[in-house]
Amino acid sequence: MTWTQLSRIALIASVGLLVGCGSTAKPHDPHMNMSSTAVEEAEAQDVELVGMPGLEDPIPARSVDISALGLSCPLCAHNLDKQLKMIEGVTSADIDLSTGQVRVAFAETACVTPQQLITSVKDAGFSVSRITAVHTPAATE
């Protein structure tokens, strides 16, 4: 990461703190014990999966589009980006605040499941309504 990118992230975070997030989503409390598998599975069933076999199966694509609910400011986007990049195999997360769409790209050898993405987005304090596999064409030789 270059100094320019780091400066940009710091500026976005500072502006977000000064202005306030303004999100109407319930803030995430990392100290709450919401690890009940039954609760997570019930919530996850509300997520529409497009082009994927199931929640615990590896995603058969090099990237996905996630429809995230509650994204409203640059600080929100920064926190979500940071959370998603903590998943092993995630190489980038491009967030569009105006639409709530997040494009998450994976390394070629990644084995990421939709459940991992849902959990990561929820840990950042947001909801997921849809995850769509994006099939990138193979590189021509």
- Closest listed residue to residue 60, CA positions, set 69, 68, 51: 51
Ordered by where they begin, the domains of the chain are: 3-22+42-134 (3.30.70.100)
Give the count of beta carbons closer than 10 Å to the beta carbon of residue 43.
14
Return d(Cα 103, Cα 95) in angstroms, integer.
7
Give the count of beta carbons closer than 10 Å to the beta carbon of residue 11.
11
Q: How many CA atoms lie within 13 A of 43 on its CB side?
A: 16
Return d(Cα 113, Cα 108) in angstroms, integer.
14
Digitized pLDDT (tens) for each residue of the chain, 141 residues in all: 566 655 555 555 554 444 444 444 444 444 344 344 544 554 546 889 998 888 999 998 899 999 999 888 999 999 999 999 999 999 999 999 999 999 999 998 889 999 999 999 999 999 999 999 997 655 544
Return d(Cα 7, Cα 55) in angstroms, integer.
37
pTM score, two decimals?
0.66
